[in-house]
Amino acid sequence: MNIFIYDSFLNQKKYDRLLARIETRITDLGLNGKISRLSPTRNIPETIDNELRRGAKTIIAVGNNKTINQIVNSLAGSQVPLGIIPIGEDNNDIAASLGIKSIEEACDILSARLLTKLDLGLANQTYFLSNISIDNQGTVIDMNKNYTIETAEKGLIYIFNLIGEQIKLPPKVKFMPDDGLLELVINTSGNKKFFAKQNHHLSIFKIKKIIIHNLKHQLLLDGSIPLSAPAEITVIKKHLNVIIGKNRKF
């Protein structure tokens, strides 16, 4: 059975017509299943655990990056795949990276059911599918016992599993979310437009494990979930089954 997890922000009346369109489309495609509407008091891990025990075949996140992250943290390690229907233009770069750019396209992709296993990043006890970001200033990165990185320049540090629109990579450089590695990217330009044209401000390190320290700033997981430092960042290889589009960015 398909389980559609509607995020709590979709309980607003302004989304009624949009959700009706989605439900009509999935019915036309034969993707009928159960709709589970979240609320601020409803426990996502318990909801997904119950659905998995009842034999769910697909868990579909209907919402944004935050929705996806919360479901990923309950679905990690399961053979049941994650599908995504993105709602809204903001905070939905995970769906775009997976080749899902509209609700109509999302429904067609669910019907085609192209599956792949992706790595997951792990920050302390919290998984992330896309990336972590943190302010450069005050951040110390332990690469190993004898090697640390620190910069006083303005900008952002990213740790990527799945590449999005946050940066423009140099030619011939690719990030693969199924290679058992993460990419540590240090941006010291402090200017996104300038940075996109000046790739010498981009420092990239392939990593399996680092520790990040910062007393002033928190890390942000998948653009949505704050996490205090220090944080140990690792990667779990091919730990999530995902339904993807043909136009994905990897």
CA distances from 126 to 71, 129, 220 (A): 11, 10, 11
pTM: 0.92
Residue 170 is given by DSSP the state P
Degrees to nearest 5, angle at CA 83 with 45 and 232:
55
Closest among 84, 89, 54, 53 to 69, alpha carbons compared: 84
Tokens, residue 197: 């044209």
Q: Coil, strand or helix: which one is 87? A: coil
Q: Is the distance from CB of 93 to CB of 241 less than 8 angstroms?
A: no
Positive/negative CA dihedral, 38, 40, 41, 46: positive
Residue 95 to residues 68, 83, 129, 154, 174: CA-CA distances in angstroms? Answer: 9, 9, 11, 29, 18
Which domains does the chain show, CATH number per domain? 2-113 (3.40.50.10330), 123-238 (2.60.200.40)
Which distant-in-sequence residues (6+ apart) come within 8 Å of 27 by Cβ?
A: none
How is residue 233 written in tokens? 């960042």
pLDDT tens across the length of the chain (250 residues): 999 999 999 999 999 999 999 999 999 999 989 999 998 777 889 899 999 999 999 999 999 999 999 999 999 999 999 999 999 878 999 999 999 999 999 999 999 999 999 999 999 999 999 999 999 999 999 998 789 999 888 899 999 999 988 888 888 899 999 999 999 999 886 444 433 444 447 899 999 999 999 999 999 999 999 999 999 999 999 999 999 999 999 9
Partner residues linked to 36 by β-bridges: 5
